[in-house]
Amino acid sequence: MSYTGPEFDRPQPRRSPLRRPLTVALAALVPGALLGWGVYAAVGGSGDEGGGPDRAGGVSASRVPSSGAPAHSDDDAKKPTGASPSPSAGKPSASPSKSPSPSGAAGSGPLKGKVVVIDPGHNPNNFQHASEINRKVNIGTNWKECDTTGTATNAGWPEAKFTLDVAHRLRTLLERQGATVKLTQDGDRSYGPCVDERARIGNEARADAAVSIHADGSGTGNRGFHVILPGSVHAGSADTRAIVAPSADLGERIAGNFVRVTGSAPSNYVGGGTGLVTREDLGGLNLSTVPKVFIECGNMRDSKDAALLTSGAWRQKAAQGISEGIVSFLRG
């Protein structure tokens, strides 16, 4: 999602209280991540995704897999920048895949008994419900809009379709591991859900892990992915203190595995090259009572990143990287 919209006001930058050495488990991923970074650099890649200086106000760099981890994702605040669709670029190579298994289905496997909530950012129909998504909701520390439209590639392929496609792929992978998987929305709602409800779904499911999936809408040349971690917030009805440490662990593991599996580098425009960013202004994180992170998988407005995001084969790798990070976190 882009960094414009209700979830991306521009708070002043601050140093992350989460900065510390990577966990041993994540460190084990460094060789592979470094290899991914080396390949990326060799072909001239210049960035990640996440949120550039034009929309990433208030983010602070966090721990990073030395190979390059993601920086930070956001709630549901991304609005298209208004570029007109181009018929020659940014179109998906494969239509979003629908998982045949119902949300919540689980089998036997190492994750049996574990609950994972996947939050596909935005909704393809949000633009048809301006009054509903502009309605203010309580995000714990203040009030913000219910949701936003999300961004899109320059060819007009919406972020909301990207996030749902990756969510379906991720659900399939996790269910094969035995996890019970719930989606906050599955293309079955006319709009939303609102940011407060997205957090509430994870809380009520007592999720062992929750991940919000997004893609950024930054400027051309801004590339790469980043993971957003919740900061320590204790104000109003928001209290993230209990989930800060486990969420950081979850985010680091996802970041390391995402680098290794996709070969993508961490964001070149937020996170200081770490791929991890801490934020305290996102309702989807501030209202969560379970370990939760956001991942911005790439920048839809950059042609090179868009070529990846619109590739079905790459989206499968993205889902695999996220899945392996979640599995690593849940298995300790």
Burial state string for 242-262 with b = 16 or more CB within 10 A and e = fewer than 16 = ebbebbbbbbbbbbbbbbbbb
pTM above 0.85, yes or no: no
> For residue range 173-212, what is the model confidence (pLDDT) as tens digits?
999 999 999 999 999 999 999 999 999 999 999 999 999 9
Over the range 203-235, which residues count as b (16 or more CB within 10 Å of their CB) and which as e? eebebbbbbbbbbbbbbebbbbbbbbbbbbbee
Number of continuous H segments (helices) and E segments (strands) in the chain: 9, 11
Per-residue pLDDT at 218 exceeds 80: yes
Check residue 122 and give its pLDDT. 97
pLDDT value, residue 111? 97
Distances (CA, A) of 19 to 23, 64, 95, 244: 12, 9, 39, 12
Number of Cα atoms under 13 Å in the Cβ half of residue 42: 7
Q: 8-53, pLDDT tens digit by residue?
A: 333 333 444 433 433 333 334 434 443 333 333 333 333 223 333 3
Report the topology of domain 24-83+101-331: Aminopeptidase (3.40.630)
Report the pLDDT value the prediction gives residue 118, as an integer from 0 to 100. Answer: 99
Q: How confident is the model over 226-235, as pLDDT tens digits?
A: 999 999 999 9
Residue 149 pLDDT > 70: yes
Active-site entry in 49, 145, 296, 324:
296
Tens digits of per-residue pLDDT, 234-275?
999 999 999 999 999 999 999 999 999 999 999 999 999 999
Higher per-residue pLDDT: 215 or 65: 215
Active site residue 296: yes
If one compares 302 and 29, the residue with the highest pLDDT of the two is: 302
Whole-angstrom Cα distance, residue 292 to residue 246?
A: 8
Residue range 69-94: mean pLDDT, rounded = 43
| Gap between the Cα atoms of 256 and 187, Å rounded | 30
Residue 47: the pLDDT is 29
Band (pLDDT 50/70/90 cuts) for residue 1 is low
The domains of the chain are located at 24-83+101-331
